[in-house]
Copies of this chain bind each other. A is one copy, B any other.
Amino acid sequence: MKNFKLHLFLVFFICLALRLQADDGYRLWLRYDQISDPEILENYQANLRTIAFLGEGEIFKTAENELLKGLNGLLTQKTQTVSTQTEADIIVGSIGEDFSFLSTVADENPDNKKEEAFIIEGFEGKTYILGTDERGVLYGVFHFLRHLQLQKPIEDIRISQAPKLKLRMLNHWDNLDGTVERGYAGFSIWNWHQLPEFIDKRYIEYARANASIGINATAVTNVNANSLIFREDYLEKAAALADVFRPYGIKLFLTARFSSPIELGKLATADPMDPKVQQWWKEKTAELYEKIPDFGGFLVKANSEGQPGPQEYGRTHAEGANLLADALAPFGGVVIWRAFVYSEEEPVDRAKQAYDEFMALDGQFRENVMVQVKNGPIDFQPREPIHPLFGAMRKTPVMMEFQVTKEYLGQGTHLVGLSNMYEEILQTDTYQFGENSTVAKVLDGSLTNQKLTGMAGVSNIGTSRNWTGNLFAQADWFAYGKMAWNPNSKSDDIFEEWAKLTFGHEEQVVQTVSSLLDRSYEACVKYMTPIGLHHIMGPGHHFGPGPWVSEMSRADWTSVYYHKADSEGLGFDRTVTGSNALEQYHPMLAAKYENMETCPLPFLLWFHHVPWDHELSTGNSLWMQLVREYYEGAEIVSHMKEDWENLQGMVDEERFEHVLMHLEIQEKEAKWWRDACLLYFQQFSKMEIPADWEQPEHDLDYYESLTFPYSPGIRPRW
């Protein structure tokens, strides 16, 4: 008998060891391992033994399974399902009069009447998890499990939440051949070839992970779209995905190529005013809804970067969007029309074009059209001021488009916590409805009275076993979900929560992980594009520095177009003496930027052409400020690496090594950005890098000579 016990011990430790050794990051933040604090565990075990599930439906069933699975893992005990409330420690059901004894139900909280809302309350020794609908229940269950993972008390738990935005969406820039435009985590997880029959287990885990952070919609195809997705066999493939997503409360969207009636329908035109074109879209949409009754709608990139669109037929974006909106309306579908457009002819500052184009159309879109606007006016640069359309466009629902993938922020290898960027943008005041008209408030519809509200994140998910390639990029996916649920979320909370969910509760680990995430965004901006520089990366693949890029098929794809370095100074004059892009902002916001002396340093070179020797608020000349920021950015990365190294032995070896290798690349590449950019700009400034600082390893010719023909995430070649 003693031997037997010993034996069990051994098995136990081997199981643990296997788990510790083999942490490949696949489980994301959904790690239902035993609660590590013994007292808390004992408390949970004693008080969470039985559950009554009072509800039904496909999504409710998902919540049921998830709660049982979660509790079994976290409490390492078998949770019992019971049929009456009396027997139950946990009651899962619907918010309503039956539960009016709960303070969260009884109070006047308007959230309790919104869709997808939930409450969690402890009352007389029982825990109630109630939703306004099935999705609400599911979100409540995930929230409760997270509450336990975070080892918070359950006695006086009292939580009431409703999402601030209705559409919380991922955009996959995934191509039908399995490549991903701007994807740095391997290739597409969608195996279109083997759909609809073969359902990869990852599809289910994907839906589950998204549901756990409140994401309720996904567009699985690239905005540089392919009309093949509308061919009957592909619609069946898409329907199989929708079937997987449905029990997790996630609606499927597809990208619509505007010329599909020509390519697939064999029509002579895609003119939105042509009745045959209108008929084609109506029939195709009806076919779609026959296969996918809860289909979300179309996401469209038109007349931008070579994509076909209504302007080819002399029609406006509104006329194009309305064509699709009319086809979708009978089924309750939505058109999401991207405002990321700029002319082929480059007549004016690219930063101004989307605003000019779309402001003129405000009021002309159908009710079921949303306009999706990138956070800044150029294109996901490391740091941009807010897009001027936020708050300005009022008669049309405006959706945020954030990057989660890191096209311009270190791609697959750099640790950069995007949450700080999301927060910075969302908390920026547009002033469009008076002071405190933050972007967050514009998005949630409270200022504009919009019924449709939403946020889209360009996915960073790929075939990598840990989903995001770079382990810390999981934190961006997580943060994006949190921000879409509540755009007023605080990054600091998100970082700490993710750290605990992902790495456990050891204090040094939590602090280091949170701090790495917190410092990293500013560091990246500094070693790539400090003081408002932008769009100075390598051509095409956007990997590495490329301030010297001057020969592209169009001027506004070059770097020199944006930094305008010359012997006098550096930066893009967007004031009244320059492109006057500033005029697109509310005067109160514009006033913050328009004066070179008072413009915040992070946006100085975005809005001003500044002389090299101009003394800035820091007391440094522009040149020295530039040098200092580049060096500081690289230095922070070195510190980040050291901090991580100090966690050796506190984090399982596999994840420790994985992160360390990426930090080593980041350290090397931060210096590469610093040295290449400073050497390049030095040609114009003719000023020095202090002699006692680490000097560039190579000369400028070397950096300019580097080529990366197979850098990942590039466009497909068709």
Query: A-side interface residues toward B, CB under 8 Å?
Result: 5, 7-12, 14-16, 18-19, 24, 34, 72-73, 76-78, 175-178, 186-187, 192-194, 197-199, 201, 228, 412-413, 463, 465, 654, 658, 661-662, 664-665, 668, 708-712, 717-718
Contact A197 to B11, CB < 8 A, known contacts A186-B187, A186-B463: no
Give Cα distance in the complex from A438 to B664, angstroms: 54
Could you say which residues of chain B place their CB within 8 Å of the CB of A665? Answer: 194, 197-198
Closest B residue to A661 by beta carbon equals B198
Instruction: Please tell me if the beta carbons of A413 and B201 are within 8 angstroms of each other in the complex.
Output: no
Contact A10 to B76, CB < 8 A, known contacts A192-B710, A463-B463, A665-B198: yes
Could you say which residues of chain B place their CB within 8 Å of the CB of A9? Answer: 8
Q: Of A9, A76, A78, A197, which is in contact with the most chain B CB atoms at under 10 Å from its CB?
A: A197
Which of B5, B14, B198, B413 makes the CB contact (< 8 A) with A198? Answer: B413
Could you say which residues of chain B place their CB within 8 Å of the CB of A15? Answer: 11-12, 15-16, 18-19
Could you say which residues of chain B place their CB within 8 Å of the CB of A18? Answer: 15
Could you say which residues of chain B place their CB within 8 Å of the CB of A5? Answer: 5, 8
Could you say which residues of chain B place their CB within 8 Å of the CB of A7? Answer: 76
Instruction: Please tell me if the beta carbons of B10 and A8 are within 8 angstroms of each other in the complex.
Output: no
Closest B residue to A464 by beta carbon equals B463
Could you say which residues of chain B place their CB within 8 Å of the CB of A12? Answer: 8, 11-12, 15
Nearest Cβ distance between residue A656 and chain B, in whole angstroms? 12
Nearest Cβ distance between residue A566 and chain B, in whole angstroms? 33
Nearest Cβ distance between residue A572 and chain B, in whole angstroms? 31
Extra 9 A-B pairs, beta carbons < 8 Å, given A5-B5, A186-B463, A201-B654: A5-B8, A11-B12, A14-B76, A15-B16, A24-B201, A176-B709, A178-B187, A178-B710, A717-B718
Instruction: Please tell me if the beta carbons of B465 and A193 are within 8 angstroms of each other in the complex.
Output: no
Nearest Cβ distance between residue A190 and chain B, in whole angstroms? 11
Instruction: Please tell me if the beta carbons of B710 and A14 are within 8 angstroms of each other in the complex.
Output: no
Could you say which residues of chain B place their CB within 8 Å of the CB of A201? Answer: 24, 654, 658
Closest B residue to A710 by beta carbon equals B177
Nearest Cβ distance between residue A647 and chain B, in whole angstroms? 18
Nearest Cβ distance between residue A236 and chain B, in whole angstroms? 13
Could you say which residues of chain B place their CB within 8 Å of the CB of A658? Answer: 201
Could you say which residues of chain B place their CB within 8 Å of the CB of A717? Answer: 717-718
Contact A197 to B664, CB < 8 A, known contacts A14-B73, A187-B186, A187-B187: yes
The A interface is mostly helix, strand or loop, or mixed, namely loop
Give Cα distance in the complex from A664 to B199, angstroms: 12
Instruction: Please tell me if the beta carbons of B11 and A176 are within 8 angstroms of each other in the complex.
Output: no
Instruction: Please tell me if the beta carbons of A710 and B193 are within 8 angstroms of each other in the complex.
Output: yes
Could you say which residues of chain B place their CB within 8 Å of the CB of A24? Answer: 201
Closest B residue to A717 by beta carbon equals B717
Closest B residue to A69 by beta carbon equals B21
Could you say which residues of chain B place their CB within 8 Å of the CB of A77? Answer: 10
Could you say which residues of chain B place their CB within 8 Å of the CB of A463? Answer: 186-187, 463
Instruction: Please tell me if the beta carbons of A661 and B199 are within 8 angstroms of each other in the complex.
Output: yes
25 contacts across the A-B interface (CB closer than 8 A): A5-B5, A5-B8, A7-B76, A8-B9, A8-B12, A11-B12, A14-B73, A14-B76, A175-B710, A176-B709, A177-B710, A178-B187, A178-B710, A186-B187, A186-B463, A187-B187, A187-B463, A193-B708, A193-B710, A193-B711, A193-B712, A194-B412, A198-B665, A199-B661, A201-B658
Instruction: Please tell me if the beta carbons of A413 and B194 are within 8 angstroms of each other in the complex.
Output: yes
Give Cα distance in the complex from A668 to B413, angstroms: 42
Instruction: Please tell me if the beta carbons of A662 and B14 are within 8 angstroms of each other in the complex.
Output: no
Give Cα distance in the complex from A665 to B195, angstroms: 10
Closest B residue to A6 by beta carbon equals B77
Give Cα distance in the complex from A90 to B9, angstroms: 25
Give Cα distance in the complex from A272 to B259, angstroms: 51
Closest B residue to A4 by beta carbon equals B5
Give Cα distance in the complex from A15 to B711, angstroms: 41
Could you say which residues of chain B place their CB within 8 Å of the CB of A192? Answer: 710
Give Cα distance in the complex from A662 to B194, angstroms: 9
Give Cα distance in the complex from A192 to B658, angstroms: 16
Closest B residue to A21 by beta carbon equals B69
Give Cα distance in the complex from A707 to B709, angstroms: 30
Could you say which residues of chain B place their CB within 8 Å of the CB of A76? Answer: 7, 10-11, 14
Give Cα distance in the complex from A199 to B654, angstroms: 11
Give Cα distance in the complex from A658 to B194, angstroms: 12
Give Cα distance in the complex from A665 to B197, angstroms: 7
Could you say which residues of chain B place their CB within 8 Å of the CB of A178? Answer: 186-187, 710, 712
Closest B residue to A1 by beta carbon equals B5
Give Cα distance in the complex from A175 to B717, angstroms: 15
Closest B residue to A665 by beta carbon equals B197
> Sorted from nearest, which 4 A-B pairs have the closest CB atoms?
A15-B15, A177-B710, A8-B8, A198-B661
Could you say which residues of chain B place their CB within 8 Å of the CB of A709? Answer: 176, 228
Give Cα distance in the complex from A5 to B12, angstroms: 11
Give Cα distance in the complex from A176 to B712, angstroms: 10
Q: Of A8, A175, A717, which is in contact with the most chain B CB atoms at under 10 Å from its CB?
A: A8
Closest B residue to A462 by beta carbon equals B463
Give Cα distance in the complex from A72 to B178, angstroms: 40
Contact A176 to B14, CB < 8 A, known contacts A413-B194, A665-B194: no
Nearest Cβ distance between residue A49 and chain B, in whole angstroms? 13
Contact A710 to B8, CB < 8 A, known contacts A76-B14, A654-B201: no
Give Cα distance in the complex from A273 to B192, angstroms: 49
Which of B14, B78, B711, B718 makes the CB contact (< 8 A) with A72? Answer: B14
